[in-house]
């Protein structure tokens, strides 16, 4: 059994607030649930309501840090530390230079959708290939500060890869719980290489998360799922960095994939906080897209007006978002409502098609990220998004995260029985071609490709 952690000391600059009963506390229990009503906690900064943050000064400071060589400034998360829980004096965070991710224009997808101002914020360009790193640098740093030796998570793959990396960098041990056979080899291989104790459980993600919640109540293990509010503070910086990129002129829409719903909650929290602090005067609409087979949020909004969670038995090849009982659903409903966003669902074929279209831009992403482009097409049909509006798709994971999906798609293994969509899918497929090693054969192939 690992040694017990030190009791957490109160923090001078922030406290925890329950999202349901509003109860405030200086410390949080290991399951990060409210002591009164067991709902989720969020981090809040009481001192902001007094003197706030000088918006102009903050913007100038953050911009100036882009040319600094300090470890804290080189991180695209800690660069915005005025909006994060404070580090102790001289404390160095566990960082891999996360954040600093590119915003790409998508000219071909812009033509396909008819939205000229279409951009992708590519979180797959983070150190372990997903957006999780921006949250992990904060949460792992606070785990170490609280004296924990073990950190743990349940995961569909990306959280485990990220946690294992940050734990290794910070001298912590890590325990990964993943659903057996339901995460990509590429993500599993990352957890192994970064030295995590990796358990493949005979259940789904929701079963892994349930078990983790029990574990942290009975052992001194620090949980690093997005229930952990420190994760969401780090993930907020996606939105801050995005607004800085656009010179603080908000885009009209931000579209994000929804799984356990931590990321959409974090982005929404950042938008609301930036408005409260006067950093932006207008909110982008934040929309969340789910796979049809893992559409708990969509059903909860459509069938229960967002008042209660309708869990589903999740099934989708976009394994990162194969989640039926999303923990942060209430937070997500709140930010969708507060920003005037929408929630949509997309089919497996729509996801694969969108993924190939993003790939053809020379960018690529994993299947879960492609729901954003597929969702945009739906939101345009519904006239929720207008063609003259600016749209940012949040690409959450790197193309290399799920090579099996990509290869199966291009080789024609995926959706081979779908006669209805054969033509549109075949147009996007680029299967590898096996040839004799002759100049003639290669030139013929080139000529054929030129005609197609
Ligand atoms: N996109 C990718 C690539 C993901 O890995 C995840 C979640 C999401 C989107 C959804 O984000 O859960 O914050 O709504 N992956 C988690 C994991 C669950 O364990 O890696 P969310």
Q: What is the pLDDT of residue 8?
A: 61
What's the pLDDT band for 49 if we cut at 50, 70, 90? Answer: confident
Determine phi and psi for 23, rounding to 5 degrees.
-60, 135
Three-state DSSP class for 199?
strand
Expressed in angstroms and rounded, the spacing between residue 267 Cα and the centre of ligand 1 is 13
> Counting atoms of ligand 1 from 1, which one is nearest the CA of 154?
19
CA–CA gap between residue 223 and residue 213 (Å, rounded): 8
> Counting atoms of ligand 1 from 1, which one is nearest the CA of 332?
14
Mutate to test the pocket of ligand 1, among 101, 134, 156, 397 (most ligand atoms within 8 A of CB): 156
Expressed in angstroms and rounded, the spacing between residue 11 Cα and the centre of ligand 1 is 29
> Does the structure show a pLDDT above 70 at 304?
yes
Mutate to test the pocket of ligand 1, among 257, 364, 365 (most ligand atoms within 8 A of CB): 257
What's the pLDDT band for 211 if we cut at 50, 70, 90? Answer: very high
C-alpha distances in Å from residue 24, one per residue of 12, 16, 28, 139: 14, 6, 10, 20
Expressed in angstroms and rounded, the spacing between residue 412 Cα and the centre of ligand 1 is 26
Three-state DSSP class for 65?
helix
Distance of CA 203 to the CA centre of its chain: 23
The two tokens of residue 277 are 């602090």
Residue nearest to atom 4 of ligand 1 (CA): 320
Q: What is the pLDDT of residue 417?
A: 81
Please give the average per-residue pLDDT across 89-101, as a whole number: 96
Closest CA to 321 of 368, 266, 371: 368
> Does the structure show a pLDDT above 70 at 3?
no
Closest CA to 276 of 11, 41, 55: 55
Residue nearest to atom 3 of ligand 1 (CA): 397
Percent of the chain having pLDDT more than 90? 91
> Does the structure show a pLDDT above 60 at 29?
yes
> Does the structure show a pLDDT above 50 at 36?
yes
Give residue-wise pLDDT tens across range 305-349: 999 999 999 999 999 999 999 999 999 999 999 999 999 999 999
Does residue 179's CB lie within 6 angstroms of at least one atom of ligand 1?
Answer: no
Expressed in angstroms and rounded, the spacing between residue 368 Cα and the centre of ligand 1 is 8
Does residue 321's CB lie within 6 angstroms of at least one atom of ligand 1?
Answer: yes
DSSP string, 95-119: -S------EEE-HHHHHHHT-SSEE
Does residue 369's CB lie within 6 angstroms of at least one atom of ligand 1?
Answer: yes
> Counting atoms of ligand 1 from 1, which one is nearest the CA of 158?
20
Mutate to test the pocket of ligand 1, among 204, 205, 263 (most ligand atoms within 8 A of CB): 263
pTM value is 0.96
Q: What is the DSSP letter of 263?
A: H
Give residue-wise pLDDT tens across range 136-186: 999 999 999 999 999 999 999 999 999 999 999 999 999 999 999 999 999
- Per residue in 133-156, is it b (16+ CB within 10 Å) or e — as a string? bbbbbbbbbbbbbbebbbbbbbbb
Domains of the chain with CATH codes: 103-129+232-420 (3.40.50.1100)
Strand partners, 285: 253
Beta strands at 221-223 and 343-346: parallel, antiparallel or unpaired: unpaired
Task: Give percent helix, percent strand, percent coil of the chain, each to the nearest 5.
Answer: 45, 15, 40
Mutate to test the pocket of ligand 1, among 190, 205, 259 (most ligand atoms within 8 A of CB): 259
CA–CA gap between residue 158 and residue 171 (Å, rounded): 20
Q: What is the pLDDT of residue 375?
A: 98
Expressed in angstroms and rounded, the spacing between residue 330 Cα and the centre of ligand 1 is 17
Does residue 368's CB lie within 6 angstroms of at least one atom of ligand 1?
Answer: yes
> Counting atoms of ligand 1 from 1, which one is nearest the CA of 368?
1
Expressed in angstroms and rounded, the spacing between residue 190 Cα and the centre of ligand 1 is 16
Expressed in angstroms and rounded, the spacing between residue 155 Cα and the centre of ligand 1 is 8
Closest CA to 372 of 390, 384, 355: 355
């Amino acid at each position: 059994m690992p040694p017990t952690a030190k009791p957490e000391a109160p923090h001078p600059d922030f406290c925890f607030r329950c999202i349901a009963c509003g109860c405030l506390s200086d410390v949080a229990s290991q399951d990060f649930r409210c002591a009164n009503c067991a709902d989720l906690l969020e981090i809040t900064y009481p001192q902001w309501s007094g003197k706030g943050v000088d918006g102009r000064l903050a913007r100038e400071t953050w911009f100036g840090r882009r040319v600094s060589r300090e470890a804290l400034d080189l991180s695209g998360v800690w660069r915005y530390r005025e909006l994060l829980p404070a580090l102790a004096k001289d404390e160095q965070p566990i960082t891999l230079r996360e954040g600093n991710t590119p915003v790409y224009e998508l000219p071909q997808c812009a033509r396909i959708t008819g939205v000229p101002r279409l951009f992708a914020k590519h979180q797959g360009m983070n150190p372990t290939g997903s957006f999780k790193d921006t949250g992990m640098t904060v949460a792992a740093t606070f785990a170490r500060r609280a004296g924990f030796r073990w950190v743990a998570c349940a995961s569909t793959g990306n959280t485990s890869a990220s946690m294992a990396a940050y734990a290794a960098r910070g001298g912590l041990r890590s325990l990964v719980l993943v659903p057996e056979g339901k995460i990509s080899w590429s993500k599993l291989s990352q957890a192994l290489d970064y030295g995590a104790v990796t358990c493949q459980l005979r259940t789904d993600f929701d079963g892994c998360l349930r078990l983790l919640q029990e574990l942290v109540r009975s052992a001194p293990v620090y949980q690093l799922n997005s229930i952990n509010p420190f994760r969401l503070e780090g993930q907020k910086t996606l939105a801050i960095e995005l607004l800085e990129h656009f010179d603080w002129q908000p885009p009209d829409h931000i579209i994000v994939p929804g799984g356990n719903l931590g990321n959409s909650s974090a982005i929404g929290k950042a938008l609301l906080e930036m408005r409260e602090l006067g950093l932006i005067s207008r909110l982008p609409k934040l929309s969340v897209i789910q796979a049809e087979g893992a559409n708990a949020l969509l059903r909860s909004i459509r069938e229960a007006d967002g008042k209660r969670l309708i869990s589903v038995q999740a099934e989708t090849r976009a394994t990162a978002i194969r989640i039926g009982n999303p923990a942060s659903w209430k937070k997500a409903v709140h930010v969708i409502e507060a920003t005037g966003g929408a929630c949509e669902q997309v089919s497996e074929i729509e996801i694969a098609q969108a993924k190939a279209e993003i790939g053809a831009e020379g960018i690529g992403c994993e299947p879960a990220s492609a729901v954003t482009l597929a969702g945009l097409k739906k939101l345009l049909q519904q006239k929720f998004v207008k063609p003259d509006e600016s749209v940012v798709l949040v690409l959450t994971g790197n193309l290399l995260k799920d090579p099996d999906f990509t290869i199966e798609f291009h080789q024609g293994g995926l959706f081979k029985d779908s006669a209805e969509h054969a033509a549109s899918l075949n147009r996007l497929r680029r299967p590898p071609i096996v040839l004799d090693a002759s100049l003639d054969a290669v030139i013929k192939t080139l000529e054929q490709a030129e005609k197609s």
